[in-house]
A and B are shown apart, each in its own frame.
Chain A
Amino acid sequence: METGADRGGDGRRPILELRDVDTHYGPIQILKDVTIEIYPGEIVCLLGGNASGKTTTLKTILGYVEPSHGAVFLDGEEISGLPTQERVRRGISMVPENRRLFKRMTVRENLEMGAYLRDDREGIEEDMERVFELFPRVKDRLNQRAGTLSGGEQQMVAVGRALMARPKVLLMDEPSMGLAPVLVAQNFEIIEQIHEQGTTVFVVEQNANMALSIADRGYVLQTGQIVLADTASALLENPEMKKAYLGELE
């Protein structure tokens, strides 16, 4: 089997890697030669406007669509071609766009679904406690139907649900979408907290300022191509970035 690259900044191996990926929906090509490397312990963000292919990138990672060219690696092993649940089992989990909780199931059932593939009862209990520590409010609402939660609470449960899989890499698709500015800031604090506890995070965002403020590195996607890749601080200073994504007028 082909193994992942070994060209990290300090010789480490990326935990998640997309290498030269092309993705099509039928005849339409969405991703063009996308290469992304995420190293253990990093927060990496993927920025881009509407329809630039951000969600498609995540779908490619999880196996919703298969790349027509190139491959995806997790921890050095190729995972493209594997069924979705196998990729989840190997340590990828996702907070989907718009949260997408199981609205008519209770909060507890939602969290339990996150641990669907796990058998270690004690570990699951432990992670449940960890989620309550991160989001004390979730604990008060365990038996409430997820659909009746406020937007902010739903976000907490969605993140909690993804963490219940005890992932190596957490994918987040536009976590700030549809949240009030206060909650957006809170949300990013939580991402940092999760990251400090040792989870690698790959976050897709349109809110470039916010994302770059917590990320180590960032990629910018434009009509399916990576047009910029740099450290977060460099991207924040990048004049093109400023004009196109950071909303600064000169």
Chain B
Amino acid sequence: MAQTVDARQALPERELVPSPPVDLGAAVKWGLIAGMTAVFVSAIGMVQAFEVRSVVVGVDLGYLVLFGAALVFGYAAARPGEQLEGFLAPERGVRNVAAGLIAGLVGGAVLWLFVLLIGAVDIRSVFPSVSPQLRDLLTFGRGAGFAAAALIGGFGLVGALGGGIPVLPERIRAPLVNALAWVLAFGLFEDLFAQIFRGAKVPFLEDLLYQPGGGLSLVGALIVFVLFFAVYLSTASRRETVRSRIATMSPSERRRWVGVGLVVAIVILAVLPQILGNFLSEVFDLAGIFLMMALGLNIVVGYAGLLDLGYVAFFAVGAYTTAVLTSPGSPRWSPEMTFVAALPFIVLAAAMAGIMVGTPVLRMRGDYLAIVTLGFGEIARLLFLSDWLKPYFGGAQGILQIPPLELGPLTFRSSLDFFYPIYAFVLVFAYVSWALQNSRIGRGWMAMREDEPVAEVMGVDVVKAKLTAFVIGAILASFGGALFAHKIGSVFPHSFQILVSIVVLVIIIVGGIGSIPGVVVGALILVGAPELLREFAEFRYLIYGVLLIFMMLKKPEGFIPSRQRARELHQEEMMQDAWLRKEEEAAAAAGS
């Protein structure tokens, strides 16, 4: 024992070694990546497709994406490495900016070479988007010489700006980056904000912020920037204390705040559609249906740790059950029930489907489970498509004439109407998810995800726990399917592609597995944004893919992590923290 104390006291005396400086050689590598990224987005037609959307003072989204590559990779090149045990905090200064500059210059040069290449050789047979128009776009319509200066110089400049981000003092950095992100958001989602201004009866704001050709005006951009910068700057310390208070809240206090949050959410949701109008309500409806599914999958994957890649099957079961029970056009048998009358049967069908998928995979884990459920998802779609079940489900023609949603005396027809039932269910499901998380079964799931055999020794009935997760997940998805069927008025096997499963999974991964706020934000952004930015449609899955890779590498716990996951996935950092704390304690002990 005495020995350990001695060892501890010796610790603080160890010299701290300076962290290695930013690697300028690696900056060249980042520059090449930036250049290849810029070439790639150009060659696949993204720059051209995005040219139509003007974002800020006449700069269109195409150029923004192009030069955004320089910014992002300039930042990546300049970012100091993680501070390791026993090292001094890394220095931040000119060298970081230089790294960003180098990355930008190299990236610009690569892009310029591409411009030369497409001037000399026609590669349109492989990349149909590499047209003379693209070349015009990349040379700013002024020839290769100008392009050399503009691209290399511009990339260098933007890269250096990116490299400057880590140099800024911490206090300013976060507000600055956040404010810029808001400027970008206001520019990109002009439709949304303009409609909100109109709906909220403050149309003059639209004229103030946006310019006639589309996009933020200079004044508008400045207003947004200054406003958000000020807000972030002034609330920085308070947000920190709020966050730590939330972390240390007692369960009863937390319950009260969740209640308050629910009430606020209800009020906002009640007025929102009136402000949004029909088109934007449509966007939110779609996001809401995905949100419902995401909440369900979050229980299966996030809480219980069962990676289900065939989740769309339950969505399909909900939609088809609704169609058969409510539509007069159901091929074999059409009881023409109302939604309310059909509801118990939908729940029943979903629960049965959950058990059918869950039972055979009870003893499977991880990748095997993923593969088998992937198969189940496709089987469901193929069954609905098959000739065999065509007499019941209509095969490829699907089932039409599903009536509008009726709840008692209310009939929901328009997108605006549908907003209410969809988000009412979303609220209920969000609450159910939250309650489950803190229940006995929720703790059982958590333990099961950690170590199944030991959870069993603690008395967790893993068979029941798994089936419960599958069944609850299935029911949530089936509600999504039922509302979807009523809203669209028809169901086709084509609507239940594997991609639906993937999108829902991406939502929970990006938002934060196991985190309810994460799932909500993830669904609204990942489903809502592509609807608002129609140019994105073509590149939607590309962007999802990039996002997914980024998340897995850099933020596996998601953007809004659950408390639990943050703990799981940043284990090393936590251990390092613990180690540092021990050192501090030892130093304090030695000092006294």
Do A and B interact? Answer: yes
Main SS class of interface, A:
mixed
Chain B proximity mask over A208-239: 1 for CB below 8 Å, otherwise 0: 00000000000000000000000000000000
A104→B568 contact, CB < 8 A? yes
Q: Is B450's CB within 8 Å of the partner chain A?
A: yes
In the docked arrangement, what's the CA distance between A62 and B458, Å? 11
B437-456 interface code vs A (CB 8 A; 1 in, 0 out): 00010011011001101111
Interface status of A76 (Cβ within 8 A of chain B): no
Is A157 an interface position by the 8 A CB rule?
Answer: no
CA distance A4 to B438 in the complex (A): 41
Which of B156-164, B198-206, B391-399, B570-578 lies on the face that meets chain A? B570-578
User: Nearest CB to that of A83 among chain B residues?
Assistant: B461
Report yes or no: B440 in contact with A148, Cβ–Cβ below 8 A.
Answer: no
- Residue B457, interface by CB 8 Å: yes
Nearest B residue to A143, CB-CB: B248
CB within 8 Å of B: which A172-206 residues: none
Find out whether the CB atom of B459 lies under 8 angstroms from the CB atom of A116.
yes
Contact status B457-A96, CB under 8 Å: yes
- What count of chain B residues pass the 8 Å CB interface test? 23
Chain B residues within an 8 Å CB radius of A109: 443, 446
Q: Are B451 and A116 closer than 8 Å at their CB atoms?
A: no
Q: When chains A and B are docked, how far (Å) is the Cα of A148 from the Cα of B455?
A: 20
Partner of A145, one of B453, B455, B574: B574
Q: Once the chains bind, are A113 and B458 in contact (CB under 8 Å)?
A: yes
B461–A94 touching, CB < 8 Å: no
Q: A residues within 8 A CB of B447?
A: 102, 105, 113, 116
In the assembled complex, B72 has its CB within 8 A of some CB on chain A: no
Q: Mark A76-94, 1 if CB is under 8 A from B, else 0.
A: 0000000111001100011
Q: Which residues of chain B are near A62, meaning CB under 8 Å?
A: 457
Q: How far is the CA of A105 from the CA of B455 in the complex (A)?
A: 12
Q: Which residues of chain A have C-beta atoms less than 8 A from B171's C-beta? A: none
On chain B, the residues within 8 Å of A67 by CB distance are none
B458 interface neighbour in A83, A106, A116, Cβ under 8 Å: A116
Q: A102-B451, A145-B574, A147-B571 are in contact. Are A112 and B443 (CB under 8 A)?
A: yes
B534 CB within 8 Å of chain A: no
Chain A residues numbered 59-86 whose CB sits less than 8 Å from any CB in chain B: 62, 64, 83-85
Query: How close is B59's CB to chain A, nearest CB, in angstroms?
Result: 45
In the complex, which of the residues B440, B459, B575 contacts A89, with contact meaning CB atoms closer than 8 Å?
B459
- Taking the nearest CB of chain B, how far is it from the CB of A168, in angstroms? 14
Whether A93 lies near B457 (C-beta < 8 A) is: yes
Q: Does A114 contact B (CB under 8 A)?
A: yes
Cβ of A170 < 8 Å from any Cβ of B?
Answer: no
Residue A124 is within 8 A (CB to CB) of chain B in the complex:
no
Chain A positions 106 through 127: 1 when the CB is less than 8 Å from some CB of chain B, otherwise 0: 1001001110110000000000
- For the complex, give the distance between the alpha carbons of A147 and B571 in Å: 9
B494 proximity list for chain A (CB < 8 A): none
- Asked if A144 is an interface residue, CB under 8 A from chain B, the answer is yes
Task: Decide yes or no: A145 and B460 within 8 Å by CB, A104-B450, A105-B446, A113-B447 being known contacts.
Answer: no
Write the nearest CB–CB distance from B565 to chain A, whole angstroms.
Answer: 9
Q: Find chain A residues with CB under 8 A from B458 CB.
A: 88, 113-114, 116-117, 161, 165
Which residues of B have CB within 8 Å of A88? 457-459
Interface set of A (CB-CB < 8 Å, partner B): 62, 64, 83-85, 88-89, 93-94, 96, 100, 102-106, 109, 112-114, 116-117, 144-145, 147-148, 161, 165
What are some 16 contacts across the A-B interface (CB < 8 A)?
A64-B456, A85-B459, A96-B453, A100-B454, A102-B451, A104-B567, A104-B568, A105-B564, A106-B567, A109-B443, A113-B443, A113-B455, A114-B458, A116-B447, A117-B459, A147-B571
